[in-house]
């Protein structure tokens, strides 16, 4: 009997069902100060990705494409297994492969991490977003993009400590993993978790996921991974996508998973108007030209913000990696 | 809420040179200004479910094909989604990267829709009707069988072999198709008869 | 597979060798991760490459491709030397105690009886000593110097850890660590499972690779038990079914054999198939051969098959060679001796070795017919695609028919998985355009040919004219009709032999299973091993009760498992001589004093007393064979053999090339390369993102792994000046390809026989049609030589060279 929590415990419904995730469940809303309190508190959910059980098969990518009806293009091989080569507006999740020689054992470990939106409890994307209602957070923890409200400015990318959202060149809106909010809304788990052959991806309440992770970590410790642990980084208030890592003491070995992710202090401190200007001052290029025109005229950026922004630009180690050229 | 105030509208307004630097000043401060939070409609609603088996490897994962229309009721049916069958004991609803994308195998642009014929030396396929193709195939096969059938060997033992036409059978077809294929091929005396199990 | 996928959760140790389960069978591999998570099971991976299976293993060891026998015999040697043997099992359930006749021997890498001219063995010395009653002599004390056990012990003694390291390149310490872990499974309460696939079969010595592991599993007592077994993961969704159904040159259905010229009549054919027990009281189930054979012949030719005409024995062709396997057919094509070829869902241009020879062969055909849901390179082999298919279209005189067939989503019927489950599925979609079912296409060809034979006569029309074809719509037999034929039915009332007044089964009724089949023409059955799949209880393959009592992984009422709904083969061996389970916590069967009870259908008569009847009822011995007698062409024991193209000479006999009895066509000899010319050891394989040459048509899978590449070590890349992601040319004696280079730590140079061996990995999924980028597969390079017993091509070990290069031309999709 399998006692792992699994999303695949039932097949999706086909009878028309009302969505159980609606405006009344929104607890945070981008660029919106006074949000009415939600009518109810949903149980927090989480996706747990056990990197030690992951076989890097990309079933999650495949299921994600099919469920979300996205169309990643056929690229080329550039000497690596990552395809597409990065997250895109058509690829919300990506297996990232790292060949790591463990200095303690001198043996090769092929670290394979499924990258994608972490659904932070304290979402940097939402805080950075200037478009009212373009990013929302539901009381179950899902951070979702409402594309109709998105202005394609790309601030969410800069605000994200994990460098996740991507702006579509076709419609200039920002895209990322929704945690399959449409499936969760009818009581199903995300498509990736359903598909995952080894159930390295599981989904359930955040509390259950933490318990499940504890069992997995104990197993890993028994196999000699003394530093096995859960990745639920407090710097972003914890996440609703968590990892079990065999080497939780050094998350960065997993394709630069941030050791201690935090929302940029700039984003944290932005209030009102300076928020938008501050981002502009960061020299952030992923801005539509018309929008850029608006902000270029702004001159109310504080010296402090400017200095901070310059520091971020000049010291990229502390900033999230710059977005690839194709997104500019 | 104001459904008209789309992103495009906002861009236009901004580009028109509104002096204010606050989006709030442009009427975006209120929650009502933008589209309400919503999730995508559940796309499997009102689809027909069919239990099937993944066509790829021999783990033989159970799948559910979701289609618009019910082929068993004689309707035209189109696959809209394929997902693992959670009731299946082997795969428990999971699928691999191939299985999870089965829909795009069924609907591949390179799916064949029409019998084609290439004449000797030609640089192209040309459409041919089923009847014309099958008549011609039967003729070619019979002529070859009649010309090259080995009824007896040198010692006079009946051997009844047809070795000049071979066949490879498909190991993704059903056992039932295999049986029909087997009957025809072996009855014709085809000895160069194999399937992927050999390779 | 002897066991089911779901049974793997019961294991303590998984050995993945000769396969790559996590990549090729991800959802089956789930049961490995379950065993790890819930039983604390360990996973060992032995592979030339650090695969994605290796990425979740507890221990990984590198091995040079083609050297697995040395590794496995090394482990057997280790177990014997360290007394890690399940003795009760080995003594009772294997032929360890059987005495081999004088004259059998092994020296210089060869068994007794070898003839270099014939490239064959005289196998007469590879047999037991028999007593006056025809029973094999045994020595239960295992003291006789020529008993199988002592011969085995002597045979494997050469495979020391040092010898394993020398041949395989596996570091001695790693080998010993693995040998020790495996040896622990000799405990009756610890079980190991072997998961293998084409990494073992696709060698000129493939069968002996598998025997090496099977023998190891036997001496550990791991066959027939939960969480144990020999698990061939198998390839396509119905590769098991097509084999079971006998769609092979040398087979009829249910592993009945095609007759040969040496069997000019039915009596002679049956004489060599009586399979008399070699030990007193044993079952030797093949004694029932005639019942299955006659029922099969009745299924084929109905009323025309009578006792007087030997049930239409001569309607079945007689082979003059062991098989017209695919290599032989393409050799004959090249010789201009084949005129027509039909490819039903098959793509030989990419799938067969030495593409140059394959395309040359197809070019000599008069006609080629393809039936496929998708475009294939084979259907368009005549089309010029620049470097990707550089043919002279005009000169190719082959007439080609490309017939569109339906695919799984539009079809209905059963598929047999690698765990032998026959699972029924239902259609969901309307076929595109004019695509038709294969049953329709085959029926249409058959009906047209039958009509021509009726009208015109011709060569031996009888088997065509008399073929049983009584379907509701002869132009398109329905899946259920065909399934009912496969199951079989009574043709006349079947009476109880002990009480002829009692009718067991009325004429026209479906037989309950093959136990009701008879050799007097009163029953028909398309495939005896499947009998029971569709009886009077209905379509058992469509059963969907997934209940699993006590979570054994048995799922007895889920679809139908052949034979007789048995889920684990040789399950009698899960209990000791007295019928008590070796491991009570993993009980499968138990003798209750009068009968066998438990979770599975016993693989033995339900009332067969424990000490009387041994578990391996399909063998004449009643026991499993550590010594295979003359049943394989290349030896009664496995012995190390090098690939035909190898970076080192065979340490046991440097003069031997490849498998000394493998068939080689004269035209191919000149196309074998040497390590001087081609210094690198290449291997071919699948990637998890793709399925053979199908998913390159799928936009999703094409996006996930878009372009042909080869993998090589950082060391070799440095030596050759090859940058990651750059173009390289890889060539063998037979052809040349260009690919992107993936430079990786996952492949490391091996030291074999004192020499550095660089491995180059070549995945196989690309061609010149589809959604993915145009590319080559490995088969432009692979050698045209087959496995010595079954002629499976040796795709896994060959020699190449490599250099930096430029992009191939003709890459723009037409």
What are A179-210's pLDDT values in tens digits? Answer: 999 999 999 999 999 999 999 999 999 999 99
**Range ranked top by mean pLDDT from A268-282, B4-18, C628-642:** C628-642
Category of B27 on φ-ψ map: left (φ > 0), alpha (ψ -120 to 50) or beta: left
Q: Tell me how far apart the terminal alpha carbons of chain B are, to the nearest angstrom.
A: 64
Q: Chain A contact for B45, CB < 8 A?
A: yes
Between B199 and A241, name the one with better pLDDT.
Answer: A241
CB of A219 less than 8 A from some CB of C: yes
Query: Which residues fall within 8 angstroms of residue B130, CB to CB, at 6 or more apart?
Result: B115, C434, C436, C444
On the question of pLDDT at C495 being above 70, the answer is yes
A3: exposed, middle or buried (Cβ count in 10 Å: 0-12, 13-18, 19+):
exposed
Cross-strand pairs, C742: C711
Please answer yes or no on whether B175 and C415 come within 8 Å at the CB atom.
yes
* pLDDT for position C810: 85
Ordered by start, the domain boundaries in chain A are 23-263, 273-320
Interface of C with A in 173-232 (CB under 8 A): none
State the residue for tokens 């996930």. Answer: C704
Residue A287 has pLDDT above 60, yes or no: no
Cβ contacts (< 8 Å) between C55 and chain A: which residues?
Answer: 55-56, 109-110, 112
Q: What pLDDT shows up at residue A10?
A: 81
Min Cα–Cα distance to chain A from C78, Å: 25
pLDDT digits (tens, 9 = 90+) for C220-248: 999 999 999 999 999 899 999 999 999 99
Summarize pLDDT for C612-668 with one digit per residue, the tens.
999 999 999 999 999 999 999 999 999 999 999 999 999 999 999 999 999 999 999
Burial of C743 (0-12, 13-18, 19+ CB in 10 A): buried
- Statement: residue C307 has pLDDT above 80: yes
In this predicted structure, the answer to whether residue C725 has a pLDDT above a threshold of 70 is yes
Residues B114-165 have pLDDT tens digits of: 999 999 999 999 999 999 999 999 999 999 999 999 999 999 999 999 999 9
C786-804 pLDDT tens trace? 999 999 999 999 999 999 9
Q: Please return the burial class of C143, using the count of CB atoms within 10 Å of its CB with bins 0-12, 13-18 and 19+.
A: exposed
B42 Cα to chain C: minimum distance (Å)? 20
Per-residue confidence (pLDDT) for residue A325, from 0 to 100: 39
Residue whose tokens read 């994990």: A162
Distance CA(C277)–CA(C285), nearest Å, equals 9
To the nearest whole Å, the CA of B176 is away from the closest chain A CA by: 29
Q: Do C773 and A52 touch (CB under 8 A)?
A: no
Whether C136 contacts C129, CB under 8 Å: yes
Burial A265-282 (b: 16+ CB within 10 A, else e): ebbeebeebbbbbbbbbb
H-run or E-run covering A198:
none
Token pair 């469509």 is found at: C542
User: Exposed e or buried b for every residue in A160-199, given b needs 16+ CB within 10 A?
Assistant: bbbbbbbbbeeebbbbbbbbbbbbbbbebbbbbbbbbbbb
CA A61 to chain CA centroid, Å, is: 14
Q: At what angle do helices A289-296 and B7-15 cross, to 10 degrees?
A: 50
Which chains does A contact via 3+ CB–CB distances below 8 A?
A: B, C
In chain C, the percentage of residues whose pLDDT exceeds 70 is 100
**pLDDT exceeds cutoff 80 at B12:** no
C34 contacts in A (CB within 8 Å)?
Answer: 2
Q: What is the mean pLDDT of residues C182-209?
A: 98
A232 token code pair: 């639920």
Q: Is the pLDDT of residue C523 over 70?
A: yes
SS (H, E, C) C54-109: HHHCCEEECCCCCCHHHHHHHHHHHHHHCCCCCHHHHHHHEHHHEEECCCCCEECC
Here the tokens at position C246 are 């006998």
List, for residues B92-114, the tens digit of each pLDDT value.
999 999 999 999 999 999 999 99
Asked if residue A273 has pLDDT above 80, the reply is no
Which residues in chain A touch residue C717, judged by CB atoms under 8 angstroms apart? none
Cis ω on the peptide bond leading into residue A84 (within 30° of 0)? yes
pLDDT at C587: 97
Q: Tell me the average pLDDT across A281-295.
A: 37
Please report the pLDDT score of residue A7 as a whole number: 52
Alpha carbon distance C691, C763 (integer Å):
11
Whether chain A has a CB inside 8 Å of the CB on B56: the answer is no
Note the pTM of the prediction, 2 decimals: 0.93
- How many CA atoms lie less than 13 Å away from A324 in the CB half-sphere? 12
To which residue do tokens 């064959």 refer? C120
Give the CATH number of domain A23-263. 3.30.70.20
The single-letter DSSP state of residue B57 is B
Does residue B22 surpass a pLDDT of 90?
A: no
3-state SS, one letter per residue, for C334-349:
HCCCCCEEEEECCCHH
Name the 3-class secondary structure at C138. Answer: strand
pLDDT tens sequence across A97-128: 999 999 999 999 999 999 999 999 999 999 99
Q: Is the pLDDT of residue C681 over 60?
A: yes
Can you tell me the distance from the alpha carbon of A249 to that of C30, in angstroms, rounded to the nearest whole number?
28
Confidence of residue A303 (pLDDT cuts 50, 70, 90): very low
Per residue in C334-354, pLDDT (tens digit) is: 999 999 999 999 999 999 999
ipTM score for this prediction: 0.97
- The answer to whether C21 contacts chain B (CB < 8 Å) is no
Binning pLDDT at 50, 70 and 90, where does residue C811 land?
low
Question: With an 8 Å Cβ cutoff, is B5 touching chain A?
Answer: no
pLDDT of residue A34: 87
CB pairs under 8 A between A and B: 185
Q: How far apart are CA C225 and CA C569, in angstroms?
A: 9
User: Which residue's entry shows tokens 């109905």?
Assistant: C302
Q: Strand pairing partners for C268?
A: none
For the residues C258-266, what does the mean pLDDT come to? 97
What pLDDT digit, counting tens, does each position of C532-550 carry?
A: 999 999 999 999 999 999 9
What is the C-alpha separation between C480 and C697, in angstroms, rounded? 31
pLDDT at residue A289 tops 80 = no
- Ramachandran quadrant class, C40 (left: phi over 0; alpha: psi -120 to 50; beta: rest): left
Tell if the CB–CB gap between C344 and B168 is shorter than 8 Å: yes
Closest CB to C52 among A56, A65, A73? A56
Band of residue C274 on the pLDDT scale cut at 50, 70, 90: confident
Give the end-to-end CA distance of chain C in Å, rounded to a whole number.
43
Which residues in chain A have Cβ-Cβ distances shorter than 8 Å to B94?
8, 59, 194-197, 199
C196, C316, C408, C464: best to mutate for the B interface, most B CBs within 10 A: C408
User: Binning pLDDT at 50, 70 and 90, where does residue A267 land?
Assistant: confident
Res A315 pLDDT > 80: no
Q: Which tokens in the block code for residue A145?
A: 């993009």
* pLDDT for res A9: 63
Q: Which chains touch B (3 or more CB pairs under 8 A)?
A: A, C
Quickly state the pLDDT bin for A275 (edges 50, 70, 90). very low
Q: Can you tell me the distance from the alpha carbon of C32 to that of C724, in angstroms, rounded to the nearest whole number?
A: 33
Is the model's pLDDT at B18 over the cut of 80?
Answer: no
Q: Does C689 touch chain A (CB under 8 A)?
A: yes
Nearest to C406 by CA among C443, C442, C436: C436
pLDDT above 90 covers a percentage of chain B that reads 79
> Quick one: tokens of C391?
């043919």
Rounded to whole angstroms, how far apart are CA atoms C241 and B178?
A: 8
Residues of B in contact with A14 (CB under 8 A): 44-49, 66
B165-180 mean pLDDT: 97
Which two tokens mark B72?
């068993």
Question: What would the pLDDT profile of C68-125 be if each residue is shown by its tens digit?
Answer: 999 999 999 999 999 999 999 999 999 999 999 999 999 999 999 999 999 999 999 9
From C14's Cα to the closest Cα of chain B, the distance in A is: 17
A96 within 8 A of C734, measured Cβ to Cβ: no
Best residue of A26, A131, A132 to probe chain B, by most B CBs closer than 10 Å: A132
What residues contact A284, with CB distance under 8 A and at least 6 apart?
A154, A155, A158
Cα C79 to the chain's mean position, in Å? 27
């Amino acid at each position: 009997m399998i006692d792992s929590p699994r999303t695949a415990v039932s097949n999706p419904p086909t009878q028309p069902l009302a969505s159980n995730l609606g405006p009344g469940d929104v607890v945070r809303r981008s660029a919106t100060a006074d949000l009415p309190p939600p009518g109810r508190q949903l149980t927090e959910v989480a996706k747990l990705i056990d990197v030690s059980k992951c076989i890097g098969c990309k079933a999650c990518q495949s299921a994600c494409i099919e469920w979300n009806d996205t169309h990643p293009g056929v690229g080329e091989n550039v000497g690596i297994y990552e395809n597409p080569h990065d997250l895109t507006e058509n690829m919300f999740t990506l297996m990232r492969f790292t060949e790591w020689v463990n200095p303690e054992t001198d043996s090769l470990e092929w670290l394979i991490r499924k990258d994608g939106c972490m659904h932070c409890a304290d979402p940097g994307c939402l805080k950075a977003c200037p478009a009212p209602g373009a990013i929302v957070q539901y009381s179950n923890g899902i951070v979702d993009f409402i594309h109709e409200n998105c202005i394609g400015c790309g601030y969410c990318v800069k605000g994200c400590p994990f460098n996740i959202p991507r702006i579509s060149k076709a419609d200039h809106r920002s895209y990322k993993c929704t945690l399959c909010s449409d499936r969760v809304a009818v009581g199903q788990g995300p498509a990736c978790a359903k598909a995952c052959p080894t159930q390295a991806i599981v989904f359930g309440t955040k509390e259950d996921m933490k318990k499940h992770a504890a069992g997995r970590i104990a197993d890993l410790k028994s196999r000699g991974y003394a530093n096995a642990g859960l990745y639920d980084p407090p710097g972003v208030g914890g996440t609703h996508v968590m990892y079990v890592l065999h080497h939780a003491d050094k998350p960065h070995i997993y394709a630069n998973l941030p050791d201690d992710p935090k929302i940029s202090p700039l984003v944290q401190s932005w209030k009102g108007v300076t928020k938008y200007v501050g981002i502009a001052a960061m020299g952030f290029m992923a801005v539509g030209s018309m929008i850029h025109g608006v902000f270029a005229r702004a001159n109310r950026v504080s010296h402090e913000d400017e200095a901070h922004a310059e520091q971020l630009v000049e010291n990229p180690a502390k900033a999230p990696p710059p977005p690839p050229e194709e997104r500019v | 809420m104001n459904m008209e105030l789309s992103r495009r509208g906002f861009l236009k307004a901004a580009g028109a040179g509104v002096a204010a630097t606050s989006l709030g000043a442009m009427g975006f401060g209120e929650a009502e200004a933008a589209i309400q939070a919503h999730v995508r409609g559940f796309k499997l609603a009102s689809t027909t479910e069919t239990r099937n088996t993944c066509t790829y490897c021999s783990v033989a994962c159970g799948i559910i094909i979701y289609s618009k229309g019910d082929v068993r009721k004689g309707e035209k049916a189109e696959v809209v989604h394929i997902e693992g069958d959670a009731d299946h004991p082997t795969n428990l609803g999971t699928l691999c990267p191939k299985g999870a994308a089965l829909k795009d195998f069924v609907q591949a642009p390179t799916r064949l829709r029409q019998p084609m014929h290439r004449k000797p030396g030609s640089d192209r396929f040309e459409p041919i009707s089923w009847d014309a193709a099958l008549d011609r195939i039967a003729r070619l096969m019979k002529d070859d069988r009649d010309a090259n059938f080995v009824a007896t060997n040198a010692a006079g033992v009946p051997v009844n072999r047809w070795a000049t036409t071979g066949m490879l059978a498909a190991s993704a077809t059903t056992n039932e198709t295999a049986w029909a294929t087997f009957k025809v091929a072996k009855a014709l005396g085809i000895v160069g008869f194999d399937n992927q199990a050999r390779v | 597979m002897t066991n089911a996928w779901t049974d793997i959760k019961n294991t303590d140790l998984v050995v993945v060798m000769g396969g790559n389960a996590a990549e090729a069978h991800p959802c089956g591999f789930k049961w490995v991760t379950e065993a790890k998570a819930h039983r604390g099971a360990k996973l060992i991976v032995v592979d030339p490459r650090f695969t994605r299976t290796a990425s979740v293993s507890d221990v990984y060891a590198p091995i040079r491709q083609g050297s697995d026998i040395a590794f496995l015999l090394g482990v057997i040697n280790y177990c014997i030397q360290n007394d890690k043997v399940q003795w009760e099992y080995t003594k009772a359930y294997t032929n360890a105690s059987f005495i081999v006749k004088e004259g059998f021997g092994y020296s210089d890498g060869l068994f007794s009886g070898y003839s270099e001219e014939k490239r064959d063995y005289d196998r007469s010395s590879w047999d037991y000593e028999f007593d006056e009653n025809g029973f094999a002599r045994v020595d239960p004390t295992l003291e006789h110097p020529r008993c199988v056990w002592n011969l085995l012990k002597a045979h494997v003694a050469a495979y020391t850890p040092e010898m394993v390291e020398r041949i395989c390149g596996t570091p001695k310490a790693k080998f010993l660590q693995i040998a020790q872990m495996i040896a622990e499974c000799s405990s009756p309460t610890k079980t190991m499972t072997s998961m293998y696939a084409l990494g073992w079969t696709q060698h000129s010595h493939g069968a002996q690779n598998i025997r090496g592991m099977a023998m190891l599993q036997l001496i550990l007592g791991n066959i027939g038990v939960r969480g144990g077994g020999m698990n061939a993961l198998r390839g396509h969704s119905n590769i098991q079914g097509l084999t079971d159904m006998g769609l092979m040159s040398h087979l009829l259905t249910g592993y009945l054999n095609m007759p040969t010229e040496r069997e000019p009549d039915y009596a002679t054919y049956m004489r060599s198939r009586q399979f008399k027990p070699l030990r007193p009281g044993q079952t030797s189930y093949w004694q029932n051969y005639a019942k299955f054979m006659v029922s099969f012949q009745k299924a084929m030719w109905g009323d025309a098959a009578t006792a007087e005409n030997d049930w239409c024995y001569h309607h079945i062709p007689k082979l003059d060679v062991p098989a017209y396997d695919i290599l032989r057919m393409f050799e004959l094509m090249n010789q201009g001796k084949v005129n027509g070829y039909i490819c039903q869902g098959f793509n030989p241009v990419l799938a067969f070795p030495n593409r140059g020879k394959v395309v040359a062969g197809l070019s000599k055909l008069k006609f080629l017919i393809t039936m496929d849901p998708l475009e294939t390179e084979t259907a368009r082999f005549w089309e010029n695609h620049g470097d990707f298919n550089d043919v002279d279209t005009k000169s190719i005189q082959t007439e080609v028919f490309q017939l569109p067939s339906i695919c799984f989503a539009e079809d209905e019927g059963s598929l047999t998985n690698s765990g032998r489950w026959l699972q029924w599925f239902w259609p969901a979609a309307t076929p595109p355009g004019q695509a038709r079912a294969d049953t329709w296409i085959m029926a249409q060809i058959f009906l047209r040919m039958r009509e021509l034979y009726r009208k015109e006569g011709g060569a031996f029309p009888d088997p065509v004219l008399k073929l049983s074809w009584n379907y509701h719509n002869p132009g398109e037999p329905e899946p259920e009709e065909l399934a009912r034929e496969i199951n079989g039915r009574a043709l006349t009332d079947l009476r109880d032999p002990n009480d002829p007044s009692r009718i067991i089964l009325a004429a026209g009724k479906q037989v309950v299973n093959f136990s009701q089949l008879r050799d007097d023409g009163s029953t028909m059955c398309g495939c005896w091993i499947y009998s029971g799949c569709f009886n009077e209880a209905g379509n058992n393959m469509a059963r969907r009760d997934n209940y699993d009592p006590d979570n054994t992984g048995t799922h007895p009422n889920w679809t139908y498992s052949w034979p007789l709904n048995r889920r684990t083969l040789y399950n009698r061996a899960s209990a000791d001589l007295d019928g008590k389970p070796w491991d009570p916590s993993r009980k499968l069967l138990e003798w209750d004093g009068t009968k066998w009870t438990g979770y599975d259908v016993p693989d033995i008569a339900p009332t067969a007393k424990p000490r009387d009847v041994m578990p391996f009822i399909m063998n004449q011995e009643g026991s499993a064979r550590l010594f295979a007698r003359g049943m394989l062409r290349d030896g009664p024991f496995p012995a190390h053999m090098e690939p035909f193209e190898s970076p080192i000479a065979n340490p046991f006999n440097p003069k031997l090339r490849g498998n000394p009895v493998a068939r080689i066509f004269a035209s191919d000899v000149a196309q074998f390369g040497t390590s001087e010319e081609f210094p690198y050891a290449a291997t071919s394989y699948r990637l998890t993102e793709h399925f053979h040459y199908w998913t390159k048509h799928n936009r999703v899978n094409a996006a996930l792994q878009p372009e042909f590449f080869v993998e090589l070590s950082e060391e070799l890349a440095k030596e050759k000046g090859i940058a990651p992601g750059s173009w390289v040319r890889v060539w063998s004696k037979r052809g040349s390809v260009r690919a992107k280079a993936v430079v990786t730590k996952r492949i490391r140079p091996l030291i074999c026989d004192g020499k550095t061996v660089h491995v180059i990995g070549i995945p196989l999924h690309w061609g010149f049609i589809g959604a993915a980028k145009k590319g080559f597969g490995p088969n432009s390079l692979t050698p045209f030589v087959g496995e010595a017993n079954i002629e499976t091509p040796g795709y896994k070990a060959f020699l190449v060279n490599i250099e930096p290069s430029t992009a191939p031309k003709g890459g723009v999709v037409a």
